[in-house]
């Protein structure tokens, strides 16, 4: 792809990846993983996970935006570990309060889940233009590819399959 750099790690780069294009892409067979190049740390930035599907008239790209796989795995493990504390939280709320009781600890699992969700929301918020950039770049790349293969046919809108212009 001419629109993005391959996601190869580089030690002497501010973005930690080789190249200078605004998008990083990893293509493995029919699978595509894309994200915006950033120069700061944001584990919760959106990734585009797509798959090329062969059809009679060509190929179709299907995909969705998600957090990276390691982040999703961490969030699942975090939630499961915190969820194991919920029965203890409920039990501690049923015990009659004593003056020196530390009942506030019962709210710790809820606070930990809330903190994870707030971090994820903040990470997604500071990355709010990334999805639009990736969609527009993919649309341009796919339209350019159609023009290269069939120069006499006008470009087609990827969503409606109607000619553009």
| CA dihedral angle for residue 26, residue 27, residue 33, residue 39, rounded to 10 degrees | 20
Question: Can you say whether residue 68 is alpha, beta or left, with left for phi > 0 and alpha for psi between -120 and 50 degrees?
Answer: beta
pLDDT in tens, 18-61: 566 778 888 888 888 888 888 777 888 888 998 888 878 777 88
pTM score of the predicted model: 0.65
In a domain, 48, yes or no: yes
106: number of Cβ within 10 Å: 19
Asked if 69 and 56 touch (Cβ cutoff 8 Å), the reply is no
How many whole angstroms separate alpha carbon 20 and alpha carbon 38? 11
25 and 62 share one domain: yes
80 and 28 share one domain: no
How many whole angstroms separate alpha carbon 7 and alpha carbon 157? 28
Number of domains present in the structure of the chain: 2
Q: Which domain holds residue 51?
A: 5-66+129-149
pLDDT in tens, 87-135: 877 777 776 666 555 666 677 888 888 999 999 999 988 888 888 888 8
How many whole angstroms separate alpha carbon 54 and alpha carbon 50? 13
Largest interatomic CA distance in the chain? 83
Question: Can you say whether residue 29 is alpha, beta or left, with left for phi > 0 and alpha for psi between -120 and 50 degrees?
Answer: left
12 and 60 share one domain: yes
pLDDT in tens, 125-163: 888 888 888 888 888 877 645 444 455 555 565 556 666
56 and 92 share one domain: no
């Amino acid at each position: 792809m001419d629109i993005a750099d391959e996601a190869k790690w580089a030690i002497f780069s501010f973005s930690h990846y080789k190249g200078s294009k605004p998008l990083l892409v990893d293509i493995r067979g029919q699978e595509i993983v894309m994200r915006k190049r950033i120069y700061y740390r944001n584990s919760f930035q959106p990734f585009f996970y797509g798959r090329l599907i062969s059809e009679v008239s060509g190929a179709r790209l299907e995909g969705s935006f998600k957090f990276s796989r390691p982040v999703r795995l961490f969030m699942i493990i975090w939630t499961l570990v915190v969820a194991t504390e919920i029965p203890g939280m409920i039990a501690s709320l049923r015990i009659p309060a004593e003056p020196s009781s530390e009942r506030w600890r019962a709210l710790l699992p809820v606070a930990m889940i809330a903190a994870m969700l707030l971090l994820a929301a903040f990470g997604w918020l500071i990355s709010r233009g990334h999805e639009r950039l990736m969609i527009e770049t993919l649309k341009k790349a796919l339209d350019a590819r159609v023009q290269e293969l069939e120069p006499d046919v006008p470009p087609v809108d990827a969503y409606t399959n109607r000619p553009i212009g």
